[in-house]
Chains A and B, each alone.
Chain A
Amino acid sequence: ETGVTQSPTHLIKTRGQQVTLRCSSQSGHNTVSWYQQALGQGPQFIFQYYREEENGRGNFPPRFSGLQFPNYSSELNVNALELDDSALYLCASSQGRDGTEAFFGQGTRLTVV
């Protein structure tokens, strides 16, 4: 158990819909990063939030957006879902901007049909 919880664990959406994924960071952590892991691939960095501000973004389109709240929990929002968005979405929490001491949640499995 890492103390990082993600919800929901699974969900199915239709192409074109919008989805919100949630992550509660480990106590004492102020940084949250999101990763997309397509089937059979390694995780890909989406973006990172540090103290409620975006602190780095990977090569993902603007329809991927996020938020970090004052309690350092975070949301990942994806608009206009595409079939290729089907993946495991992982959240990692850490203390400090560099994010190396990261703990990963169990992930949310998103299926777009």
Chain B
Amino acid sequence: AQSVTQLGSHVSVSEGALVLLRCNYSSSVPPYLFWYVQYPNQGLQLLLKYTTGATLVKGINGFEAEFKKSETSFHLTKPSAHMSDAAEYFCAAHGQNFVFGPGTRLSVLP
């Protein structure tokens, strides 16, 4: 069965600093991989996804993620954090359905 882990339930960065949110998946067959963002009391918004092809994937709001099969990782990065990036971030794998990680809450400090 697939599983997704996210290292760090809470990450704090200063405004303008690099954002790095970690995600590892467990699957014998690399699944499709996704990052979603969730703002308080809202649903999930797709940031980016990896299906096939280029391993560096660019998404909305300046986020990108790199699929590394050898490390079974799909870490999310953004060069410069903005206050509006403060939210909950979920990594997910999709085989037959979405399997989500536990989430990482990103705080951006002024």
Residues 35-63 of A contacting B (Cβ, < 8 Å)? 35, 40-45, 48, 56, 58
Given A43-B90, A45-B98, CB of A100 within 8 Å of CB of B43: no
Partner of A106, one of B36, B43, B100: B43
Structural contact, B94 and A44, CB atoms closer than 8 A: no
Given A90-B43, A104-B44, A107-B43, CB of A45 within 8 Å of CB of B102: no
Q: Count CB-based A-B contacts (< 8 Å).
A: 53
Q: How many chain B residues touch the partner (CB < 8 A)?
A: 22
Question: What A residues does B41 contact at CB under 8 A?
Answer: 109
Structural contact, B44 and A100, CB atoms closer than 8 A: no
Structural contact, A33 and B98, CB atoms closer than 8 A: yes
> For the complex, would chain A's binding face be called helix, strand, loop or mixed by DSSP majority?
loop
Closest Cβ of chain B to A71, distance in Å, is 21
Flag whether A105 is at the interface (Cβ < 8 A): yes
Question: What B residues does A98 contact at CB under 8 A?
Answer: 94, 96
A32 to B88 Cα, complex, angstroms:
23
Query: A41-B102, A104-B43, A106-B42 are known contacts; what are 18 more A-B pairs with Cβ within 8 Å?
Result: A33-B97, A35-B98, A35-B100, A40-B103, A41-B103, A42-B92, A42-B101, A42-B102, A43-B98, A44-B100, A48-B97, A56-B96, A58-B97, A90-B44, A92-B44, A92-B98, A107-B42, A107-B43
